[in-house]
Structure 1
Amino acid sequence: MLFKGKRRVLVLAPHTDDGEFGCGATIAKLIKEGSDVFYAAFSACEQSVLPEFPKDILVTEVKAATKELGIPPENLFLFDFQVRTFNFHRQCILDRLIELRKQIQPDTVFMPALADLHQDHQTIAQEGLRAFKFCSILSYEMPWNNLNFNTSCFVHLTEEHVATKVAALAQYRSQQHRPYANEEFIRAMARMRGVQINTQYAETFETVRWILS
């Protein structure tokens, strides 16, 4: 068991698919073990969608991807902040995070690293820390945005968990042009992190705050 007892877990994704890339296999494991997982995405990145796809394609894709992970539709929250402008809307984002805190009352939050290079990711991490400072917080890994990452927490994973993550990310047809959006990379990362803790597969996290009851 990843946690003792049922947990209420909130995943903060600046953009649709960030949560799946950062902790998709861990989400699958938590759900299998009976935890309630909620997912909040703050932008569907309409301004960045390739011209051959509908502008709202990522809304459709995140619904399919989170369903693949086992997240109920009612546990998915979608906001429409414009990509690369989050830093101009800090207070509004913080207000949405506080609303989520009151509604969900999570005990564990997954979010980007505080040192993530992407400006939107930084905003969600910084405001997420403000909103959820009384929760346990783990930051997920995004190697293309992390110059440094403190691998202070690892989650043991099985083939089933990794396969579920791969299947979820395969729902993002509009993102398949990205060099990290493929099964080979996803499995290589999980295998590499697994080697570090002498298991087949793993995901790693930075421990921002860990609260024991």
Structure 2
Amino acid sequence: MLDGLKRALVLAPHTDDGEFGCGGTMARLVEGGCEVRYVAFSIATRSLPPGFAPDTLAREVRAATAELGIPESNLTVHDFDVRTFPERRQDILELLVALWEEWRPDVVFQPSHHDVHQDHQTIAQEGLRAFKRTTILGYEIPWNNFDFSYGAYLALERRHVERKVAAVRCYASQQHRRYADEDYIWNLARVHGTNVNREFAEVFQVYRLVA
């Protein structure tokens, strides 16, 4: 289903969500000639560990997306305060509608509706409203998903997972989190691949498929 895609948009509530949810898929898309745009809505300054500068995640997301082959011109980083997205719902929707009108992506990757983080839920809900005329796939953030519909498996080669791991490694400020562990990333990709008789894969919830 990735063949022929020209424009893919990745919505990351916070820097690094896109890499965790669909980093391998982004690497595969870029390799196939698709233009990928990455929009992060918060640099989560209040969630940084002690000792890191306030702009740390803004710098780290630039390095991470570059590892995936995304040019800096295709990266947009907003600075909505972490855990306040429900209060900024209309502002976020207007940004997303403007993205649709400007760029008309062929596919949008966003958090799942079943993600329990309030910022992720807001992006998921407003993403459906803004991009209802195109394909929308919800990516998996396992530690936030109590329920998830495994509707689409996108197969990956080893090199795509390597790029995902390299991208996550760019987030020095987040390496204390257990889910940033390289073995976890490899094992999750391997489990999803095994489920569909592939070596590696990422999995998505299908909200709309326009072909």
Q: TM class by shorter-chain length?
A: over 0.9
**1:80 counterpart residue number:** 79
Identity, in percent, stands at 53
Structure 2 unaligned spans of 5+: none
Which residue identity does 2:18 align to in structure 1? G
**2:97 counterpart residue number:** 98
Q: How far, CA to CA, are the matches of 2:119 and 2:2 in structure 1?
A: 30
Q: Secondary structure at the match of 1:43?
A: coil
Q: Secondary structure at the match of 2:143?
A: coil
Which residue identity does 2:61 align to in structure 1? V
Q: How far, CA to CA, are the matches of 1:177 and 1:126 in structure 2?
A: 30
**2:41 counterpart residue number:** 42
Q: Secondary structure at the match of 2:178?
A: coil
Indicate the larger mover: 197-206 or 96-105: 96-105
Encode CA deviations 1:79-106: one digit per residue, 9 max, x unaligned.
1100000000000000111111122210
Quick check: 1:130 aligned with 2:108?
A: no
Q: How far, CA to CA, are the matches of 1:162 and 1:12 in structure 2?
A: 20
Encode CA deviations 1:1-34: one digit per residue, 9 max, x unaligned.
x523242100000000000000000000000001
**1:70 counterpart residue number:** 69
Structure 1 residue 56, shift from structure 2 partner: 1.1
Which residue identity does 1:70 align to in structure 2? G
Q: How far, CA to CA, are the matches of 1:78 and 1:52 in structure 2?
A: 22
Which residue identity does 2:67 align to in structure 1? E
Structure 1 residue 51, shift from structure 2 partner: 1.3
**1:157 counterpart residue number:** 156
Q: Secondary structure at the match of 2:61?
A: helix
After superposition, the CA RMSD in angstroms is 0.8
Encode CA deviations 1:111-145: one digit per residue, 9 max, x unaligned.
00011100000000000000000010000000000
Q: How far, CA to CA, are the matches of 1:38 and 1:58 in structure 2?
A: 18
Q: How far, CA to CA, are the matches of 1:157 and 1:106 in structure 2?
A: 22
Q: Secondary structure at the match of 2:92?
A: helix
Q: Is the 8 A contact 2:5 2:106 kept in 1?
A: no
Count of aligned pairs: 211
Q: Is the 8 A contact 1:61 1:172 kept in 2?
A: yes
Q: Secondary structure at the match of 1:92?
A: helix
**1:113 counterpart residue number:** 112
Q: Under a length normalisation based on structure 1, what TM-score does the superposition of the two structures give?
A: 0.97
Structure 1 residue 107, shift from structure 2 partner: 1.3
Q: How far, CA to CA, are the matches of 1:158 and 1:209 in structure 2?
A: 25
Q: How far, CA to CA, are the matches of 1:30 and 1:206 in structure 2?
A: 18
Structure 1 residue 57, shift from structure 2 partner: 0.2
Structure 1 residue 55, shift from structure 2 partner: 1.3
Q: Secondary structure at the match of 2:138?
A: strand
